[in-house]
Structure 1
Amino acid sequence: MQVKDHTLIAKVSMLAGKIMLKSGAETYRVEDTMNRIAVAYGLKNVQSYATPTGINFSSDIATDTHFNRISNRSNDLHKIAEVNSVSRQITAGELELKDALKKLRDIENAKLNFPGWMQIIAAALVSGSFAMMFGGTWPDFIPSFIAGGLGYAAMLGFERLVEIRFMAEFFGSFIIGVTAFIFIYNGVGNELDRIIIGAVMPLVPGLHITNAVRDLMSGHLVAGISKGVEATLTAFAIGAGVAVIFAFV
C-alpha cells in the first residue's frame, strides 16, 4: 500500500468522524466508525480519539497524526444515518476509497434538515401536546402552541444572527414567557405554568443529555462530562429566560 493511500484512508476516516461529531453523534460511535473504516481499507493498529471539540487519527504505518477541530455542532440524525450507511458499505467491500470520499463529501455538503417553517410547526404542535400532557386544559393548547412556535422561531433566528452559545435558548424561552403572559393577561388560557412548560419542551437539550450519559457509560469521561455541562448550561439558559419575565411581572 502506497503512502498516498494511507493519506486518503485518513481523509475518509477523518471526514466520516467530522460529519458524525458535527451532527451530534456520541464520541464512542465516532471513534468506532473511524476505526472500522480504516481497518476495512487495510490499515492496522489504528488509533482514533474524539472529544466534543476535536478528533485525532493515526496508525502505525503512517508517519503523521491527523487532527481536526470541531467548532460548530448541531443535531442532524439524518447525516449520522447516512455516514453509518457508507461505513457499512465500506466494511462490506462495496466502496473504493475515492468513491467513499466523494459520498462523504456529498453528505457533508447536503442540506438534510427539514426546512425552518416545518421545524417551527412541529415545535408548536409538540408544545401544545406537552401542555396537555402536563395537566393543562384545552384552553391552554392554543397559547402553548403559539408560544412554542414563536419561541422556537426566535431561537432559530437568533442562532443565525449571533454566534454566542446558550443565548439562542435564553432568547427563545424569553419570547415564550412573554407570549404566555400576554395570553393569560388577556384571558386566553388557564394555567400559565402549564403553557410555559409545554412551550419550552422543544428547546430542552434531550439529545445532549442522552449522549452525555451514553458516553459516560462507555468510559468516555471527558466527553460525557463536557456534554453534561453543556446540557446543564442550556437548561439554565432556558430557565433564566423564563425567570426574567416573572422577575418583572
Structure 2
Amino acid sequence: MEDKDLIIETTLLAGKIMIENGADMARIDDTLKRIAKNSGVTDPDIFETTTGIMMSIKGANAQVIAIEKRRIDLERISRVNDISRAYQAKTKTLREVHDHLMTLDQTTPDFRLRWLVLAAGIVGATLEIMYNGSWQDFLPTFVISALGYYLFYVVNTRFKVKFASEFVAALAIGALAVLSVKYGLAKNYSIVIIGSVMPLVPGVPLTNAVRDLLAGHILSGIARATEALLTAVAIGMGIACVLRFF
C-alpha cells in the first residue's frame, strides 16, 4: 500500500476540485474510490457533501477538507477524471497524481472575462429567438445579456456575497430591457428579459441536484436544490423589483 497520508491527501484534493467545479456526487464518489482502491485501500471510508469531504483509513488519522467555493468548470472535472484513469492504468504514480492535482487546483487558467461576456451575449440572444422573439430584439438582448453577465461576474468576484450578484445582475437586466423598449430599441421587454437572464439560470446545479437525489446522496441533493432555488429566487426578485416600480 502507498503512504496512507498521501493517499488521503490525494483523494481529498481530487474531491475538492470536483465539488468546487460542479461535479455530481455519483461521479465524485466513483473517482475518489477509484483512487483509493488503486492505492491499495480495499474499503475506503469517504463521506462527501457540497461543503466538505471526510476520509479515513485504518491505521491513519482521518482528514477533513472544506469546500469554500463552488462554480461550474467541466474542463477541470474532466481533467481530474483523466488523471484518476491514468493512475488506474498505472501510467502515473500516486505522487505524480498528487502533483498534477495540485497544479490543476492552483494554476489552471480560466477563460478570460471578455470571452465569458461574449458567450453570455450569444446565449441570451440565441435563446431570445428560440422563444419566438423577433429579430428586432436580437441585438438588444445580446448587449443586455452580456452586460448583465459582466455585472454578475464583477459583483460575485469583488464582494463574494452569495445570491447578491444574481439579484444585482437581474435588476440591471430588467431595467435595461424596459428602457430599451421605452426608447424604441427593442420591441418586447418580456422576451428580452427572458433571453438575457438565461446565462444566470442555475441549470447545472438543478440537474446535479436531481442526479444526487436519484443516486441516494440525499444531503447533497437537497443542499444543491436549495442553493439553485435561492439563486432562482434572487433572479426573480431582481426582475420583479424592476417591473413593480417601472
TM-score by length of 2: 0.97
1:39 to 37, 40, 57: 37
Partner of 2:198: 201
Partner of 2:93: 96
Q: Secondary structure at the residue paired with 2:127?
A: helix
1-side partners of 2:15 and 2:76: how far apart? 11
- What stretches of structure 1 move > 3 A for 4+ residues in a row? none
Question: What code does the residue aligned with 1:239 have?
Answer: G
Q: CA deviation at 1:59?
A: 2.2
Residues 155 and 168, structure 1, Cα contact 8 Å, conserved in 2: yes
Residues 44 and 59, structure 1, Cα contact 8 Å, conserved in 2: no
Deviations 1:147-172 (A, max 9, x none): 10000000000011211111101111
Deviations 1:199-223 (A, max 9, x none): 0000000010010000001000110
Partner of 2:27: 29
Aligned residues: 246
Residues 140 and 195, structure 1, Cα contact 8 Å, conserved in 2: yes
Partner of 1:63: 60
Residues 174 and 242, structure 2, Cα contact 8 Å, conserved in 1: yes
1:241 aligns with 2:238: yes
Q: CA deviation at 1:113?
A: 2.3
Q: Secondary structure at the residue paired with 1:49?
A: strand
Question: What code does the residue aligned with 1:41 have?
Answer: S
2:207 to 198, 206, 210: 210
Equivalence map 1:129-168=2 (5 Å): 129-168=126-165
- Aligned-pair identity in percent equals 36
2-side partners of 1:11 and 1:95: how far apart? 16
Q: CA deviation at 1:187?
A: 0.8
Q: CA deviation at 1:240?
A: 0.6
1:128 aligns with 2:128: no
TM-score by length of 1: 0.96
Partner of 1:107: 104
CA RMSD in angstroms comes to 1.1
1:171 aligns with 2:168: yes
Question: What code does the residue aligned with 1:28 have?
Answer: A
Deviations 1:96-139 (A, max 9, x none): 12111111111111234211110100100111111111111011
Q: CA deviation at 1:189?
A: 1.3
Residues 79 and 112, structure 1, Cα contact 8 Å, conserved in 2: no
Q: Secondary structure at the residue paired with 1:55?
A: strand
Deviations 1:6-37 (A, max 9, x none): 11111111111111111111122212211110
Deviations 1:68-92 (A, max 9, x none): 1111111111110000000000111
Question: What code does the residue aligned with 1:55 have?
Answer: I
1:16 aligns with 2:14: yes
Q: CA deviation at 1:63?
A: 2.9
Residues 142 and 196, structure 2, Cα contact 8 Å, conserved in 1: yes
